[in-house]
A = this chain, B = another copy of it.
Amino acid sequence: MFEAAEVGHRVSKAAYEKQEPEVRAGLLEVQRGLAQSQRAVVVLVGGAEGAGKEETVGLLLEWMDARGIETHPLWEVSDEERERPRFWRFWRVLPPKGKIAILFGSWYSEPIIDRVFDRINELEFERELRRMADFEQMLTNEGVLVLKFWLHLAKGAQKKKLKEMKQDPRLRWRVSKDTWRFFKDYDAFRAVSERALQLTSTGYAPWTIVDALDQHYRNLTVTKTLLHAIRECLAEQAAGAPAAADPPATATLPTRREGNIIRELDLAKKLADREYDRVLGEYQAELGRLARKLHDSQRSMILVFEGPDAAGKGGVIRRLTAAVDPRLYRMTSVAAPSDEERAHPYLWRFWRDLPRHGHITIYDRSWYGRVLVERIEGFCAPEDWRRAYSEINAFEEQLTDFGTVVLKFWLAIGPDEQFKRFKHRQGKPRQVGRLRGRGGGHGGAYQHG
Identical subunits present: 2
Find out whether the CB atom of A327 lies under 8 angstroms from the CB atom of B73: yes
Interchain CB contact under 8 A, B285 and A66:
no
Q: Fill in one digit per residue for A247-267: 1 if any B CB lies within 8 Å of its CB, else 0.
A: 000000000000000000000
Task: Assess the A321–B58 pair: CB atoms within 8 A.
Answer: yes
Of the stretches A74-82, A178-186, A204-212, A375-383, the one at the interface is A74-82
Q: How far is the CB of A174 from chain B (nearest CB, A)?
A: 8
Q: Does A9 contact B (CB under 8 A)?
A: no
Bound-complex Cα distance A144 to B70 (A): 31
Q: Is the CB of A57 within 8 A of B326?
A: yes
A64 within 8 A of B: yes
Which residues on B sit within 8 Å (CB–CB) of A364? 67
Q: Are A430 and B104 touching (Cβ within 8 A)? A: no
B80 touches A78 (CB 8 A): yes
Encoded as 1 (CB less than 8 Å from any B CB) or 0, chain A from 325 to 338 comes to: 11111110101001
Q: Which residue of B lies closest to A75 (CB)?
A: B327
Task: Identify which of residues 37-89 in chain A touch chain B, using a CB-to-CB cut-off of 8 Å.
Answer: 54, 57-58, 61-67, 69-71, 73, 75, 78-80
B62, B80, B330: which contacts A71 (Cβ < 8 A)? B330
Q: Contact: B433 with A61, CB < 8 Å?
A: no
Q: Is the CB of A326 within 8 A of B54?
A: yes
A66 in contact with B321 (CB, 8 Å): yes
Closest B residue by C-beta to A79: B79
Check B331 against A67 for contact (C-beta < 8 Å). Answer: yes
A322 and B62 contacting across the interface, CB-CB below 8 Å = yes
Which of A22-30, A149-157, A410-418 forms part of the interface with chain B? Answer: A22-30
* Contact (Cβ within 8 A) B326 A104: yes
In the complex the two chains form, is B65's CB within 8 Å of A326's CB?
Answer: no
Given contacts A62-B322, A66-B317, A80-B79, contact A434 B24 (CB under 8 A): yes
Selected from B70, B289, B339, B433, the residue in CB contact (under 8 A) with A28 is: B433
In the bound complex, do residue A326 and residue B78 qualify as a contact, i.e. CB atoms below 8 Å apart? no
Interface residues in A204-240 by Cβ distance below 8 A to B read none
A18 within 8 A of B: no
In the assembled complex, the Cα of A339 lies from the Cα of B335 at a distance in Å of 14
A430 CB to nearest chain B CB (Å): 5
A314 part of interface (Cβ distance < 8 Å): yes
Question: Within 8 Å of chain B (Cβ to Cβ): is A288?
Answer: yes
Question: What 1/0 flags go to A365-404 for Cβ under 8 Å of B?
Answer: 0000000000000000000000000000000000000000
By a CB distance below 8 angstroms, the chain B residues around A318 are: 61-62, 66
Q: How far is the CA of A433 from the CA of B20 in the complex (A)?
A: 13
Does chain B have a CB within 8 A of A194? no
Q: Provide the bound-state CA to CA distance between A61 and B318, in Å.
A: 8
Q: Contacts A78-B80, A292-B173, A333-B67: A54 and B327 contacting too (C-beta < 8 A)?
A: yes
A169 to B80, CA, bound (A): 31
Tell me whether B289 and A170 are in contact (CB under 8 A). yes
- Say whether B433 contacts A65, CB under 8 Å: yes
Which of A69, A434, A442 has the largest count of B CB atoms less than 10 A from its CB? A434
In the complex, whether A242 has a CB less than 8 A from a CB of chain B is no
Known: A78-B80, A289-B170, A440-B65. A24 touches B325 (CB 8 A): no
Task: Give Cα distance in the complex from A430 to B432, angstroms.
Answer: 59
Question: Which residues from B are CB-within-8-Å of A340?
Answer: 338-340
Q: How far is the CA of A16 from the CA of B69 in the complex (A)?
A: 58
Complex Cα spacing A325 to B434, Å: 58
* Contact among B25, B170, B292, B442 with A285 in the assembled complex (CB-CB below 8 Å): B170
When C-beta atoms are compared, the residue in chain B nearest to A438 turns out to be: B65
Residues of chain B lying within 8 A (CB to CB) of residue A289: 169-170
Question: CA separation between A188 and B328, bound complex, in Å?
Answer: 30
Segment 155-202 of A: residues with Cβ below 8 Å from B: 169-170, 173
Give Cα A91 to B406, complex, Å: 30
A25–B430 contact, CB under 8 A? yes
Subset of 12 A-B contacts with CB under 8 Å: A58-B322, A61-B318, A62-B322, A64-B433, A65-B314, A66-B331, A67-B335, A67-B364, A73-B328, A78-B356, A338-B340, A339-B340
Sorted nearest first, the 4 A-B pairs with minimum C-beta distance are A73-B327, A67-B333, A28-B433, A57-B326
